[in-house]
Structure 1
Amino acid sequence: MIYFGIKFHLEKKNAEDLIQFFFKHDCLGCEVIEKPDINDMYGEIYTLNENDYPEKGVIVCGYFTSSDIITLVNEYLQTKKITLLSDIQIERVTDAECDTYKEHFKIINIDERLKVIPSWVEETSQNQVIVKILPGTGFGTGSHPSTKLALTLLSKYISTDDVVLDWGTGSGILAISAKKLGAKLVTAIDIDPLALKNAKINVDLNQVDIDCNLCSIEAVNGYYSLVISNIVLQVLINGTKDVYDRLRSNGIWIISGILETEKDILMTQISRHNFKLIELIFEDKWCSLVVRKEVE
């Protein structure tokens, strides 16, 4: 069978609505291509092939069984008065190429309790909680060491009484796992509208009830027994006090996204806010930790 990968180059502010339109019209998968900022505030280092990224805006690529979607999208763009930044690009994708794409996304056994599978895999288990994630929309599929570490700790520390906050939800994989592992209530937040849209797609795919909100940690209301975050160091540091304020007494914070070389910097910060280290685990060059809020 032949599939069509159709690329639309537009301003980032219009991407979320276009992705939503795609999935209302039988989109098989979607990805957003955006050039990272090599001078961003988090000090990340990128090695880029500039030809892979748009100089301005973002490219939204949707995969469909028919190219007829182009007519519908053009009507949508005209209705919304959205101007493309370059011509629409279409490429044919064969079954073999789709299978090659799918080979990059394997079933991931986190532990005896939890398994992450791609959305196209049909699998049931009496012994493990199964979380389905739609790859191709970015924001985390469970294969990165930092995500696996976070899921490992989540599976170990979650309880059925927990009220959970997933700070920087991305694909929603941590929030969905928390709910399917038995958490009482789960809230997921992110400041990126595209990430939150992706999370909602995966929440629906897993048929769970999660409150997804577009906001920063500073704007969060309520109190939580467990907070989990898989984000970069500087954001964690900036939000440490907010997490402390939102955690209940003796609440748990599972932290991931940290390089081994960054561990001491983070530990210094969290110790200033009366967090006690409970556990620290490693994989490759990454580490994740569990800390508990100590009442002053």
Structure 2
Amino acid sequence: MPWLSLTFGIGSDHIDWVSDRLLEQGALSVDVHDAGEGTSKEQPLFGEPGMPLEQFWQQAEVTVLLEENANVDEILRAIAEITGSSVLPEYRLARVMEQDWVRLTQAQFDPIRISSRLWIVPSWHELPDSSAINLRLDPGLAFGTGSHPTTRLCLTWLDQFLHPGDSVLDYGCGSGILAIAALKLGAARVTGVDIDPNAITASLDNARNNFCGTDRLSFATALSSLDSEGSGTEWLPATVVVANILANPLIMLAPVLMKALQPGGHIVLSGILDTQADEVLQVYSEWADMHIAAREQGWVLLAGQKSVDNKP
């Protein structure tokens, strides 16, 4: 069954009102995006959870999916009414044919080469290098497919600096990708922690798909719940703590993460924008000698070693 795709420009002040009206009039979906997307005028937006964005796109565009028999003129008149315009907005109208959306979605995710020995491979792809460490990971319920710069930064650090026999805490584990990678790279003991139960479900599924035994790998919604779940925390504090979250949560969690790290152990932090790096560095410098270890696409990876005199 075909559909109609209607695209038009809009000012940021009217986006919520127009989106609500379109949905009331039977729109199947409403997508708001940067009108300059893919050009030199593209305007990236970033924000922390629970906090309003300080800005919005200067030139926004709306694409709405409609039933094939939708009254486009009536919808355009409603948009003009909301925006206070006496003329109908300029628009593009296209016919969208029914497609195999699963295959189209899968086509967006190719194997990702982290290093010569480490790959992230969706389950529907052949292994690009059967002799490498191949993590089977599909897009799912939780963050972490290897496609985001912060995930790649953390994976690269683990690939380069993790020592066989290390114990690793992955705080904010999401899909479990960092925890699973650490285990495959030789860690003796790994625990992933995430407050979202869906993330724990995704992590456990991904661990099974990568043939990770539960004797060396566990997941929990809080460190305090590990003992009650029979996993034990006798191996903590860890020799490596990695957290790929966001700057504000990392700042608040600093005492917790550093307590979970052995003196002389390594702390690895990402989910931090270049502009936020100094603030996070300052907070963690109370416990460790921190530095910017890597950068990619405006994101940074911070790493440091906890002072041997700094007891957990």
Q: Give TM class, smaller chain.
A: 0.5 to 0.7
Contact 2:48–2:248 (CA under 8 A) maintained in structure 1: no
Q: CA, structure 1 residues 103+281, in 2 after alignment: closer, same or farther (shift >3 Å)?
A: same
Aligned to 1:203: 207
Q: Which moved more, 1:241-250 or 1:143-152?
A: 241-250
Q: Count residues in correspondence.
A: 218
Moved over 4 A (4+): 42-49, 216-221
Q: CA, structure 1 residues 208+218, in 2 after alignment: closer, same or farther (shift >3 Å)?
A: closer
Aligned to 1:292: 305
One-letter identity of the residue aligned with 1:251 = G
- Measure, in 2, the Cα distance between the counterparts of 1:216 and 1:46: 37
In percent, how many aligned pairs have the same letter? 31
Alignment of 1:121 with 2:107, yes or no, is: no
Structure 2 counterparts to residues 274-293 of structure 1, below 5 A? 274-277=287-290, 280-293=293-306
Q: CA, structure 1 residues 116+44, in 2 after alignment: closer, same or farther (shift >3 Å)?
A: farther
Residue 239 of structure 1 is aligned with which of 250, 253, 262?
Answer: 253
Aligned to 1:13: none
Displacement of 1:44 in angstroms is 5.8
The answer for unaligned runs of 5 or more in structure 2 is: 1-46, 66-97, 228-232
Displacement of 1:293 in angstroms is 0.4
Residue 280 of structure 2 is aligned with which of 262, 266, 273?
Answer: 266
Q: CA, structure 1 residues 235+217, in 2 after alignment: closer, same or farther (shift >3 Å)?
A: farther
Alignment of 1:213 with 2:229, yes or no, is: no
Deviations 1:68-96 (A, max 9, x none): xxxxxxxxxxxxxxxxxxxxxxxxx85x4
One-letter identity of the residue aligned with 1:211 = S
- Measure, in 2, the Cα distance between the counterparts of 1:212 and 1:154: 19
Displacement of 1:290 in angstroms is 1.4
TM-score (norm 1): 0.66
One-letter identity of the residue aligned with 2:221 = L
Displacement of 1:230 in angstroms is 0.4
One-letter identity of the residue aligned with 2:104 = T
Structure number with the bigger relative contact order (C-alpha 8 A, sep ≥ 6) is 1
Secondary structure, aligned partner of 2:147: coil
Q: Tell me how large the CA RMSD over aligned residues is.
A: 2.9
Displacement of 1:124 in angstroms is 6.7
Aligned to 1:166: 170
Q: CA, structure 1 residues 234+123, in 2 after alignment: closer, same or farther (shift >3 Å)?
A: same
Aligned to 1:176: 180
Displacement of 1:42 in angstroms is 5.3
Q: CA, structure 1 residues 127+39, in 2 after alignment: closer, same or farther (shift >3 Å)?
A: closer
Displacement of 1:258 in angstroms is 0.5
Secondary structure, aligned partner of 2:258: helix
Contact 1:167–1:229 (CA under 8 A) maintained in structure 2: yes
Displacement of 1:171 in angstroms is 0.4
| More helix by percentage | 1
One-letter identity of the residue aligned with 1:285 = G
TM-score (norm 2): 0.63
Secondary structure, aligned partner of 2:115: coil
Contact 2:292–2:300 (CA under 8 A) maintained in structure 1: no
- Measure, in 1, the Cα distance between the counterparts of 2:290 and 2:122: 34
Displacement of 1:45 in angstroms is 6.7
The answer for unaligned runs of 5 or more in structure 1 is: 1-37, 53-92
Secondary structure, aligned partner of 1:249: strand
